[in-house]
Amino acid sequence: MREFARRVGIVCRAIPPGRVATYGQVALLCGFPRRPRQVGTVLGRGACGEVPAHRVVDRQGFLSGARAFLTPDHQRLALEAEGVAVSPEETVDLQKYGWRPSEEEQAALAAAWEDE
């Protein structure tokens, strides 16, 4: 789990401000496409160090990580501070704000795994 947590941290640090990624997307970019729930577990426990965990949402764009933050509205406030609009239903438009890593970004992540 330690290696997975390290990868989650690397991927989450790569999410640009003003963008969000889903738990499944983070798991996929880590090389473990069937572990989106474990991404949530790692982020909730703070097992991957200082990361912008507020940029990770569920597959429908719902802000589902409230328990992991100091206050229930932290994720919403942090995203709004970066220019991400959050609906009254606590969702983010993934079409507008979803992170689509470039080929270069994906290659850099793949290189990080090879450097292990």
The pTM of the full predicted model, rounded to 2 decimals, is: 0.94
Least confident window among 41-45, 63-67, 74-78: 63-67
- Closest by CA position to 9, among listed 112, 114, 115, 79: 112
Non-local (6+) Cβ contacts of 48 within 8 A are 5, 6, 8, 9, 12, 42
Match 């450097």 to its residue by tokens.
115
User: Which residues have a Cβ under 8 Å from the Cβ of 93 and sit 6 or more positions away?
Assistant: 61, 85, 87
Asked whether the beta carbons of 22 and 101 are under 8 A apart, the reply is no
Please give the average per-residue pLDDT across 68-81, as a whole number.
90
Give the per-residue pLDDT at 12: 95
Q: Domain 2-114: which topology?
A: Arc Repressor Mutant, subunit A (1.10.10)
Q: What gap in Å lies between CA 62 and CA 45, rounded to an integer?
A: 20
Per-residue pLDDT, averaged over 6-18, amounts to 95
Which pLDDT score is estimated for 48? 80
